[in-house]
Structure 1
Amino acid sequence: MTDVRTATTLLPHALPVCENARITLFAIRRMGANGLSDARAAHLLFTAFGQDFRRPLVLLRALMADLAGTASGTIAIAPCCCARMTPAENALLTIISRIDYAPDTARLLMADLLGVRRVDGVLASAAAVSAAFADEGRPVTI
């Protein structure tokens, strides 16, 4: 029997409705594919936040570095052009959106995403990203 995989099975989640979550997702995809210094990710955050873009950009870079350094395996990200999300992308956006009001849920999702038990450092990075977006009037909701 052949293994038939469709876009819906590989990318089971629709893109978020929240514009701020889409901005976050695009930056995550760009940095994940092209490195932390991706110019398009920086330009997107500059466009979205104006002169106050540095804090969200630096904190998102720190989160991506923490994720890469802590994960026990690979974290699947889709290309920027995809109109759907991987389970890992959905989990990451859910963590960022819920870290303030459901920290226990965020902790469990992060542990599942990374495949490790000690996720406090990465969770702190996610909380900082969430706060940076919210402080600039762009809370991430999913």
Structure 2
Amino acid sequence: MARSHDSTALELPLPARRHQTLGLILMRRLAAHGLHDARATMLALDASGAEFRKVLVLARALVIDLARTSQRRILLAPCCATGMTRDEGLLMALIGGAGLDVHGVLTDDARCAVAMTSAHALGGELERIAIRNNWRR
């Protein structure tokens, strides 16, 4: 049965900050093409240099945690899409530090906050990358 939040429309614009867009594209690539996607690895390497493994492992952990704990399908757009789905907006809010309320809406399960820890760790690493690369102004 389709739910009101199962829309595949690109309702939201892409994130304004470069490091947030990096996080979104990493999530899209890993979810669509597998945890060992070469392009996701190259994106992480390009952004992080020799420390690329940390952001890649955190993104993989978040994909796995969401897949294991979500009680519903999380809809992601293709990598080249020019906007975000509602679910991607919630995912970016979670990576940005949102709490149990956003986690509960994204996964339909606020009790099991395993993915929230991975999301916050990924958000911290993306912030570190942005500062290192002077992407924040």
> TM-score band (shorter)?
0.7 to 0.9
Where does residue 113 of structure 1 map in the other structure?
106
Q: Give 1:62-101 correspondences, 5 Å limit.
A: 62-97=61-96, 99=97
Q: Which runs of 5+ in 1 are unaligned?
A: 1-8, 100-104
- Contact 2:41–2:56, Cα closer than 8 Å, also in 1: yes
Q: Which residue of 2 aligns with 1:13?
A: 12
Stretches of structure 2 lacking an aligned partner (at least 5 in a row): 1-7
The TM-score normalised by the length of structure 2 is: 0.85
Q: Once the 2 structures are TM-superposed, how far is the Cα of residue 77 of structure 1 from its aligned partner?
A: 0.3
Counterpart residue identity of residue 60, structure 1: A
Runs of 4+ in 1 over 3 A off after TM superposition: none
Distance 1:123 1:73 in 2: 16
Letter in structure 2 aligned against 1:75: I
Q: TM-score, length-normalised on structure 1?
A: 0.82
Equivalent AA in structure 2 for residue 106 of structure 1: G
Contact 1:60 1:129 in 2 (8 A): yes
Quote the residue 2:3 is aligned against.
none
Q: Tell me the SS of whatever aligns to 1:132.
A: helix
State the Cα deviation string for residues 4-40 of structure 1 (Å, max 9, x = none). Answer: xxxxx81110111100011111111111111111111
RMSD (Å) for aligned C-alpha atoms: 1.8
Is contact 2:100-2:110 (8 Å) kept? no
CA shift for structure 1 position 121: 1.4
Aligned length: 126
Residue 133 of structure 1 deviates from its aligned partner by 2.0
Structure 1 residue 65, shift from structure 2 partner: 0.3
Question: Take 2:112 and 2:87, find their aligned partners in 1: how far apart are those partners?
Answer: 15
1:124-139 mapped onto 2 (5 Å cutoff): 124-136=117-129, 137=131
Q: Percent of counterpart pairs with the same letter?
A: 36
CA contact (8 A) 2:103 2:113 kept: no
Q: CA deviation at 1:75?
A: 0.3
Aligned counterparts of 2:113 and 2:70: Cα–Cα separation in 1:
13
